[in-house]
Amino acid sequence: MKVRTWLVITYLIVMLLPLAAAYGFFVLIQEWDQSKRISDTFELTQQIQSLENELQHPDLYEMQPLEALELKLPDRVIEGDAELQLYRADAVRIYSSEASQQSIQQIDRSRLMENLYQYDLSYHALTVKKPVFEDEQIVGVYELSIDRSEWVTGVENRRTWVVTGFILFFIFVYATMIWLLQRKLNRPLKELMQGMSTFASKQRAVSFQYKRKDEIGQLMHHFEKMQEQIESAQAETKREQEEKQLMMASFSHDIKTPLTSLHAYAEALENEQSLSDSERRDYMQIIKRKSIHLKGMIEDLTTYAKLQSNQYEMPLTKVDAEEFFEMVFEGYDELARQQHIRLRKEITIDGSCKMNDQHMVRYLDNLMSNALRYTPADGTIGLGVIGCHAPLPEWIFEEAHAGLEDFRSQNALLIVQNDGPPISQEHIDSVLTPFYQGEQARTSHEAKHSGLGLSIAKQIAEKHNGEMKLWSFEQQGTVIAMRFPQ
């Protein structure tokens, strides 16, 4: 149950249940009072009737001394169990059991004659007023009241029971609500706060064993997910920090050799007077090549850092797909011919797509550079862009067909495939990491480069809302594919 619903129900219970209980107690008292009223009326009426015979004597309504009058009255009146008022026919009260001494009082005769023969059951007594006749003439009127002390005591006792019961019931309801509030709200909130404090102070993930299906349970679930996200972010930050440290260390190491060579050849040109013109030109060529190599490494590092930044948004332009890729594929035929490598190109895409021409040229340059570096003479390189519904080129390795079909998933594919030594499975994921220099079997000392080419290509693919993946097969070669929305 939701906490909000539970609180509303609890509020209604606390507000309405005591009222319902009070009403129930009131109804019970009323029913008891009604049943008791009937029995009391019957019993007291019998008691009154037993006394009325002694009050029918006409001489009771004559003026006489109090002592003589009391001798004629019923014992219950004298003992105080009943109250009696005696009136003469002219509405003069000649006796009252409530008065300590005899007093005569004139009252209104019309008021005296009201409600004769009517039994009036009040809270404290049953009262009746009747006339007394002699020779069919009214000689007096008596008003007799029988005390209901037993009933009054019962009512007071029941009132005490009801009030006590109501108070105990209210305390029970309140204590139950406090217990439920503690169990439903306070305890889970305390557990959640303790978990937050533990996670904040010890940086240790906390899991909650019991999670209710309410807002607090949802809050616990979200807190656990938040912990996972924080731990994941911390691990990613740590990985990126280690990657940056490794990148800087690798870059410093890789840049040291060409810088040392530059320094050595520059000193030789400056200090060696015996160098011939041919040697000087060779030294200058070496310095030029080393400078170009250093410039390329710095450009790679700058590009990689820019692409890795979350603040960098690569501008994408809507282009005609076929025309665009025909343009970026130009120039690689001559490079392949120079190394006696066969280049097979295929463009089977139409419509439009969003591209950044500068970065896509950089992407293909990095992949083609690797392909040309590792493909032996008389080998083959495949370069193709395939629309989302077009079939794969016939030159694709048969082993790669299933993986490529599953990978493209209604997207277009940009494929670079080359013959050559395969990448072992233990290193296939590492080649996309920064400053990976390849295995000794694939990379000679002279051919080493910055190690950022494939990492930059991977970043470019992701900035185009795509993804890059690599497959490598024994006795075949390597396939690198980028999928992107068409």
Both tokens assigned to 433: 């990491």
The residue among 153, 168, 197 that closes a domain is: 153
Do 278 and 349 belong together in one domain?
no
Assess if residue 415 is contained within a domain.
yes
Q: What is the pLDDT of residues 112-127, one digit of tens each?
A: 888 888 888 777 788 8
Do 404 and 479 belong together in one domain?
yes
Do 98 and 76 belong together in one domain?
yes
Assess if residue 168 is contained within a domain.
no
Both tokens assigned to 127: 């009262």
Do 355 and 398 belong together in one domain?
yes
The residue among 281, 305, 329 that closes a domain is: 305
DSSP letter (8 states) at residue 273: T
Assess if residue 377 is contained within a domain.
yes
Helix (H, G, I), strand (E, B) or coil at 69: helix
Do 134 and 69 belong together in one domain?
yes
Q: What CATH number corresponds to the domain at position 329?
A: 3.30.565.10
Instruction: Please give the Cα distance from 197 to 188 (Å, whole number).
Output: 14
The residue among 305, 328, 349 that closes a domain is: 305
pLDDT value of position 209? 67
Assess if residue 204 is contained within a domain.
no
Instruction: Please give the Cα distance from 299 to 305 (Å, whole number).
Output: 10
Strand pairing category for 352-355 and 412-419: unpaired
pLDDT value of position 467? 92
Assess if residue 205 is contained within a domain.
no
pLDDT value of position 447? 41
Q: Note if the pTM is more than 0.85.
A: no
Which segments in the chain show pLDDT lower than 70?
1-6, 100, 209-215, 247, 250-251, 253-254, 434-451
Assess if residue 439 is contained within a domain.
yes
Do 321 and 289 belong together in one domain?
no
What is the tally of structural domains in the chain? 3
Q: Which domain holds residue 58?
A: 3-153
Do 289 and 320 belong together in one domain?
no
pLDDT value of position 456? 84
Both tokens assigned to 248: 């800087």
Instruction: Please give the Cα distance from 200 to 220 (Å, whole number).
Output: 15
Assess if residue 12 is contained within a domain.
yes
Assess if residue 198 is contained within a domain.
no
pLDDT value of position 105? 83
Both tokens assigned to 277: 């013109």
Helices then strands, each counted (H, E), the chain: 13, 13
Decide if 72 contacts 57 (C-beta within 8 A). yes
Decide if 229 contacts 205 (C-beta within 8 A). no
- Count of other CB atoms within 10 angstroms of residue 387: 19
Q: What CATH number corresponds to the domain at position 244?
A: 1.10.287.130
Instruction: Please give the Cα distance from 256 to 263 (Å, whole number).
Output: 10
Do 297 and 337 belong together in one domain?
no
